[in-house]
Amino acid sequence: MHSIQDKLTEFFTIYRPDTQKRRVGFLCPYTVEEIIDAAGFVPFRIIPEQSSFDRADAYLPTNICSFLRQVVEMGVGEALKELDCIVINHSCDAARRVFELLDRHVSTRIYFQDIPRCDDSASRTYFRHILAGFRSFLEDIARTQITDEKLLRSIKRYNENRRLLRELYTLRAAHPDLVDSTLMQRVIENNGRNPKSMYNRLLASLIGELKERGQELKEAKTGIRIYVSGGLIDPLPLLGFIENAGGLIVGDDFCFGGRYFAVEVDEGNDPLSALSRRYLEKIPCGRMERATERFTYIINEIKQYNATALIYVGLKFCDNFLVDYPQLKMMLDQEGIPSLFLESEYSPLGRGQLETRIEGFLEKLG
């Protein structure tokens, strides 16, 4: 019997994506991927994998998050050359500065997409205007019109993707040992780097496979059910540590995890307005005016998935996420949900502090 990882590898071979398509790099889930998809490009998540910042140091001070510093490192080191274009959102102050640096020092075309912080009708109108600008920009590069029909088709593909991910997440909550963090990370990372038309088929097959295996499982593995909250966490060994210490990850609200798929786009007329609405309406990140609303979402998820505790992780120097914790903690305390606060670099290294804290926390709970 193949392991599920092997099965996933098999699926990647079967559903091989069309590598001819041009790629548009992006960093943040507020980038409206549907427009990129409708232009015939593949939205490609930039997931830095280095841990040195020698070149980035020439451009950025040290007290900027390690994720963005690595993006700059990649940019000036010509590692992003193969992308047709890069989209940077107004995710934070540092992102704004990174855009200006890359714009001047990197040969790849870079586009800045502003995002309103608020979610009211004026903001939606304004955001629609911004998206219209984004569409024009992509039409220029793609040398093709991005019609409403094309947009609607992309929206449908993306909504399907969201539904499939939600199903996967529900499966995980039921069988966190089967759908473990290694598998989920792999699925999520690749979800950000492949065209949805192909990836949806892969996800459907994977879910089918998992359901079968899930039925065959005699009993669920025991462990402490943990909900993890944070932003960008791809290289962090965090989730593996939690599982090694006896935790079971039953849910998350990561930028490209739980908060990525939670809300769908309306499939009616005027897709640009629908997109504007959905992206402002979705479960917000720390930067948005509605930032603290996501706490209610988190607590509901914790209850729904029967999690025992929450682990919150913020990147060092990421104000948008770090400053939220005190308020979240207050709400969690009121609900009697224990929590652990971790600060980390965007790196697979530096195990010591994370591991010890996680082990200590789980020991206390167990």
Expressed in angstroms, the distance from the first to the final Cα of the chain is: 33
Does residue 334 belong to the site contacting other proteins (CB under 8 A)? Answer: no
Give whichever of 88 and 210 is closer to other proteins, judged by the CB atom: 88
Beta-strand pair 339-344/42-45: unpaired
Q: What Cα–Cα distance (Å) separates residue 39 from each residue in 21, 149, 162, 282, 327? A: 11, 11, 20, 23, 41
Lookup: tokens for 208 = 């089918």
Give whichever of 2 and 105 is closer to other proteins, judged by the CB atom: 105
Give whichever of 167 and 343 is closer to other proteins, judged by the CB atom: 343
Which window, 4-12, 19-27, 85-93, 197-205, contacts other proteins (CB under 8 A)? 85-93
Give whichever of 138 and 315 is closer to other proteins, judged by the CB atom: 315
Q: Cα separation of 195 and 154, whole Å?
A: 10
Q: Output the smallest distance, CB 35 to other proteins, in A.
A: 18
Q: Cα separation of 333 and 354, whole Å?
A: 22
When binding is defined by CB under 8 A, the residue of 2, 117, 303, 364 that contacts other proteins is: 117
Kindly state the DSSP code that residue 41 receives in the 8-state scheme. P
Strand partners, 111: 87
What binding mask, one character per residue, do residues 164-203 give for other proteins by CB under 8 A, x or -? Answer: ----------------------------------------
Give whichever of 125 and 144 is closer to other proteins, judged by the CB atom: 125
Q: Output the smallest distance, CB 104 to other proteins, in A.
A: 7
Q: Cα separation of 301 and 258, whole Å?
A: 10
When binding is defined by CB under 8 A, the residue of 63, 215, 269, 334 that contacts other proteins is: 63
Q: What Cα–Cα distance (Å) separates residue 199 from each residue in 24, 39, 166, 204, 235? A: 17, 18, 14, 9, 22
Task: List interacting residues with other proteins (CB under 8 A).
Answer: 51-55, 57-64, 90, 92-94, 96-98, 100-101, 104, 112, 114, 116-118, 122-123, 125-126, 129-130, 286-287, 289, 291-292, 316-317, 319-320, 322-327, 329, 341, 343, 345, 347, 349-353
